[in-house]
Chains A and B, each alone.
Chain A
């Protein structure tokens, strides 16, 4: 009897802790629904999703990296570089040639891939600590962005390019649509492909993965490339959203991206975590930002609340593991 009751309780706790983040998210939403009549409007939900989508893209790339036990601090800078590269190709300001939006997006992604590849090589091949390698890239990519733009915003973006930031598909704003698509693809890659399994294995125990015949260096290299690509893509979308290539964009975005991943329950040690957790983590950050704006709460409190959420999420996670 006694024991049965205990196991039922444990099962319940287990269930609860498995969905900690989701429950946290729903609780936030519930509080907001009561606090503001505007929160649950379709328009506001669209806003939250759109505001979340760019951080969401960075967080997905960050999830890949953190799953291998690494970290990518350069996402914000690579975002800025991708943004200005795309902008420069579709801007009417300089009097140069205006390329098609597709070319601009591809170029931005190409730039992101290159930057990710440099970080990836440093980490995978030359065994530079990910924190240091990506810190270098954070600085270098930002510098290149200023060199490329001379420190000035790139205005007068061709209308057709703006679609990826301002258009909508099936009632969803384009950035949200793209974000959803990337989530879907990444989910399949992480859950259903060999590559995804290998990412987890490398993060969980690199030596074991290597002995099992996995090319661990290639896997480590690749996650930084993915992160670079998604960051630069995010930059292109941000350019379309703000109608200008902004060299200052993306300052400290890496912090929100890491926060989303961590809130989502992915272990910074690697090997454990889920993409869905990251998506919910990003949404929590989006809802908190939006909610506090709507309620007119001062910026000071916003910082405190965000910090508290990160710590609480991780705390619950570690308590869960301890019990």
Chain B
């Protein structure tokens, strides 16, 4: 296939959901041998367009052509058979199957009629994995893999189809820097083979590293398509949010000398070992490390989610015993977990219930929850964080990622914490909401509190932290003031043993 041929073309696509016009008059074109980014804030319509193209959603109107043929896929299977692969943002492997079984799931029988030929699918898997330079045993069970490895398997699965079009929805949201590099190598490889790649992402650096063209969405409408090398970061942000942003990060807090939290020798074998650190009043402490370095595990141990084997915690010099999350909350801690859907929110409950749950005690009058009290507190958070929701009764699962994160933050603010533990606080969140969250962190610390933030995005770590603690292999490797460290050094410390 030649470079620059039109693979996909859509015209005048329109799609509405109850109460929302998700896509309006969208035109889009993907050429072979290019990487084409879809950008926009959450809810802008990127994922919707992808799902319409894949036949997951039925479009209301508009036309679509694949390699010159007009198509209208009714199911993802039809799209797949026609040559389009899709790696969704939410991965759904079968946990008790092996890597090989997952990759060839549903396609085993095209080689053999009844019995799965394991030898063959295993060797095929090795081939595919080798092609993208990933070392993984095809016989390993999916449930034993890390999130990043699962992501790589999904990519391998998509590539194994050898389709001309590959759609990746936030492929780097769950993987660390090292895996991202790997992924980019794979993308370059595919590009060289003349395939067309649609790349949905929030991350500026990635967009500028690997894409050739960018189509920007805003509020369900297509703002325009630009060539990547002709646009600057600032221009792109302006396109996305419609206004100019002076600065991506907001940082006004000033750390003091007063130690607020002191952790000593915190240990859970194999997860986080001998971790000691201090956080001061007014400080934002960055916690950096590759995926699997023990960052989230440290939070789990500190917050009492998992039982620690050893170690002590002092708040303002006083030793506290934390055996469960409720102990941690009582001592003024709050934990925003990495995964909003798995451990953050109760998706089947409303915004109101999710916001008040951790501090419900305060709304109880005479044994019963006072509705007016609760509403008042919940609404104060909805206003403070400018949560976009039709009402407090809306199911939280229906909100966009950024708004969901704001609900989680609101929940914790209501407990009046002094120490905020944030695990990847801006993952999968659009630029506008990110800025609001940065501002909140800064204000929170400035008000005489402290923040510990885990992040995989180096610019974010450097942009927000006063001090950075680097973890590797479950241990603290280094601790540096922000002024004494740069991007390369950070990566270096996190990746290699000295």
Q: Is the CB of A197 within 8 A of B369?
A: yes
Complex formed: what's the CA distance from A205 to B343 in Å? 7
Min CB distance B103 to A, Å, is 29
Q: Is the CB of B346 within 8 A of A213?
A: no
Enumerate chain B residues within 8 angstroms of A238, measured Cβ to Cβ.
Answer: none
Per-position 1/0 for B359-381, Cβ under 8 A of A: 01100100111000000000000
Chain A's closest residue to B326 (CB) is A213
| Given A209-B357, A210-B325, A213-B325, A188-B346 contact (CB < 8 Å) | no
Give the contacting residue for A214; candidates B303, B326, B337, B367; CB below 8 A: B326
Among B335, B337, B353, B357: residue with most chain A CB under 10 A: B357
Complex formed: what's the CA distance from A207 to B343 in Å? 5
B345 within 8 A of partner (CB): yes
| Given A201-B357, A208-B343, A271-B348 contact (CB < 8 Å) | yes
B132 within 8 A of partner (CB): no
Q: Is the CB of B335 within 8 A of A211?
A: yes
Q: Is the CB of B18 within 8 A of A212?
A: no
Give the contacting residue for B305; candidates A188, A211, A214; CB below 8 A: A211
A200 within 8 A of partner (CB): yes
Complex formed: what's the CA distance from A138 to B392 in Å? 42
Enumerate chain A residues within 8 angstroms of B358, measured Cβ to Cβ.
Answer: 212-213
Which B202-222 residues have a C-beta within 8 angstroms of A?
none
Among A188, A209, A215: residue with most chain B CB under 10 A: A209
Which A179-205 residues have a C-beta within 8 angstroms of B?
188, 192-194, 197-198, 200-201, 203-205
Chain A's closest residue to B369 (CB) is A192
Chain A's closest residue to B415 (CB) is A213
Q: Is the CB of B325 within 8 A of A211?
A: yes
Enumerate chain B residues within 8 angstroms of A272, measured Cβ to Cβ.
Answer: 348
Give the contacting residue for B329; candidates A197, A205, A213; CB below 8 A: A213
Among A3, A7, A213: residue with most chain B CB under 10 A: A213
Chain B's closest residue to A215 (CB) is B326
| Given A200-B353, A210-B305, A212-B357, A193-B367 contact (CB < 8 Å) | yes
Q: Is the CB of B342 within 8 A of A212?
A: no
Enumerate chain B residues within 8 angstroms of A3, measured Cβ to Cβ.
Answer: 16
A100 within 8 A of partner (CB): no
Enumerate chain B residues within 8 angstroms of A188, measured Cβ to Cβ.
Answer: 368
- Range for the number of chain B residues in contact with chain A: 20 to 34
Q: Is the CB of B349 within 8 A of A212?
A: no
Give the contacting residue for A207; candidates B328, B342, B360, B361; CB below 8 A: B342
Complex formed: what's the CA distance from A319 to B337 in Å? 33
Enumerate chain A residues within 8 angstroms of B344, measured Cβ to Cβ.
Answer: 208, 211
Give the contacting residue for A197; candidates B16, B328, B330, B360; CB below 8 A: B360
A318 within 8 A of partner (CB): no
Complex formed: what's the CA distance from A3 to B324 in Å? 51
| Given A210-B325, A211-B335, A213-B329, A201-B342 contact (CB < 8 Å) | no
A139 within 8 A of partner (CB): no
B411 within 8 A of partner (CB): yes
Chain A's closest residue to B345 (CB) is A208
B347 within 8 A of partner (CB): yes
Give the contacting residue for B347; candidates A192, A204, A211, A215; CB below 8 A: A204
Complex formed: what's the CA distance from A71 to B405 in Å? 32
B106 within 8 A of partner (CB): no
Among B329, B330, B360: residue with most chain A CB under 10 A: B360
Enumerate chain A residues within 8 angstroms of B347, measured Cβ to Cβ.
Answer: 204-205
Q: Is the CB of A204 within 8 A of B305?
A: no
B68 within 8 A of partner (CB): no
Among B342, B344, B349, B415: residue with most chain A CB under 10 A: B349
A94 within 8 A of partner (CB): no
Chain A's closest residue to B344 (CB) is A208
Complex formed: what's the CA distance from A241 to B251 in Å? 72
Chain B's closest residue to A10 (CB) is B18
B19 within 8 A of partner (CB): yes
Give the contacting residue for B369; candidates A193, A204, A209, A215; CB below 8 A: A193
Enumerate chain A residues within 8 angstroms of B357, measured Cβ to Cβ.
Answer: 197-198, 201, 209, 212, 214
| Given A194-B360, A210-B325, A215-B324, A201-B369 contact (CB < 8 Å) | no
| Given A201-B357, A208-B344, A194-B369 contact (CB < 8 Å) | yes
Enumerate chain B residues within 8 angstroms of A267, measured Cβ to Cβ.
Answer: 348
Min CB distance A228 to B, Å, is 23
Complex formed: what's the CA distance from A267 to B337 in Å? 26
Enumerate chain A residues within 8 angstroms of B16, measured Cβ to Cβ.
Answer: 3
Complex formed: what's the CA distance from A210 to B323 in Å? 12
Enumerate chain B residues within 8 angstroms of A213, measured Cβ to Cβ.
Answer: 324-326, 328-330, 358, 415
Min CB distance B411 to A, Å, is 7
Chain A's closest residue to B367 (CB) is A193
Complex formed: what's the CA distance from A197 to B157 in Å? 42
Min CB distance A8 to B, Å, is 12
Enumerate chain B residues within 8 angstroms of A197, measured Cβ to Cβ.
Answer: 353, 356-357, 360, 369
Q: Is the CB of A211 within 8 A of B337?
A: yes
Q: Is the CB of B19 within 8 A of A211?
A: no
Enumerate chain B residues within 8 angstroms of A209, measured Cβ to Cβ.
Answer: 346, 357
Which B389-407 residues have a C-beta within 8 angstroms of A?
none
Enumerate chain A residues within 8 angstroms of B364, measured Cβ to Cβ.
Answer: 193-194
Give the contacting residue for B349; candidates A7, A194, A201; CB below 8 A: A201
Enumerate chain A residues within 8 angstroms of B367, measured Cβ to Cβ.
Answer: 193
| Given A10-B19, A213-B358, A271-B326 contact (CB < 8 Å) | no
Min CB distance A282 to B, Å, is 23
Min CB distance A220 to B, Å, is 15
Among A188, A210, A212: residue with most chain B CB under 10 A: A212
Complex formed: what's the CA distance from A7 to B343 in Å? 34
Among A3, A194, A272: residue with most chain B CB under 10 A: A194
Q: Hey, which bits of chain A sit against chain B, CB under 8 A?
A: 3, 7, 10, 188, 192-194, 197-198, 200-201, 203-205, 207-215, 267, 271-272
Q: Hey, which bits of chain B sit against chain A, CB under 8 A?
A: 16, 18-19, 303, 305, 324-326, 328-330, 335, 337, 342-349, 353, 356-358, 360-361, 364, 367-369, 411, 415
Q: A194-B361, A201-B357 provided; 4 other pairs, C-beta below 8 A?
A: A193-B367, A209-B346, A211-B335, A215-B324
Jot down 7 A-B pairs with beta carbons below 8 A, ordered by A.
Answer: A7-B19, A194-B361, A197-B357, A208-B345, A211-B303, A211-B335, A213-B358
The 7 closest A-B pairs by CB, nearest first: A204-B346, A213-B326, A271-B348, A212-B358, A207-B343, A204-B348, A213-B329
